Amino acid sequence: MKVLLTGFEPFGGYTINPSQLLIQALPDHYLGMDLVKQILPVDHQQGPQKMLALLRSHQPDAVIAFGLASGRVQISLERVALNLLDFPIADNAGVIVENQPIVPGGPAAYFSTLPLLAMQAALKAEEISAEFSLSAGAYLCNQVFYTLMHEIVSQDLNTQAGFVHLPDLPEQTAQASRPVPSMSLEVQIQAAHILVAQLGSSN
């Protein structure tokens, strides 16, 4: 089984991104699976384009895309990708997109096809806090998530795929002007291993 795992480069004034550090820390092989690990640019054109290129070149059996959601308390298993671009801040190219569709004329939304119930149960069994989230927002994370699911559906691919949001790291919150939830990188890496182990499960 081949699994594509992606994270994002730092953005929004941060010098680190937990999703990037997590991806870099994961092994190339795990439980008999080949892990393809890549970092996506926080760029509304290059980010989705790189995801499509990875999907087409590697033809993975499953994809888990990771990203940072500052302020989240738990590992967030995203249920829905929305056909909406509405950036709260500029991407790393300095671009802000407001109230635009990701795919003009495309479906309003796609559901994750990851085994989310099994994933949450496995995380909680290891005492890692995890939640279901109904919104991946309307920034790059959601754009990449929607682009990924649109390609899978439109090309009739047999690929499990979805998106997982991560909390801030403690070192990101240390300089914050207000209290911000955080989760250690070690726990996030453990969570990623658990999520990958659940691929192929059914809810």
Would you name the residues annotated as active-site residues? Answer: 78, 141, 165
CB 140 within 8 Å of CB 66: no
The two structure tokens encoding residue 13:
């004034």
Beta strands per DSSP E along 52-166 = 62-68, 75-78, 80-82, 109-111, 130-133, 160-166
- Packing angle of the helix pair 140-154, 46-58 (nearest 10 deg): 40
Q: How far is it, in rounded angstroms, from Cα 33 to Cα 4?
A: 10
Q: For residue 87, how many other CB atoms are within 10 A of its CB?
A: 18
Helix (H) or strand (E) holding 142: helix 140-154
Angle made by CA atoms 173, 177, 182, in degrees to the nearest 5: 20
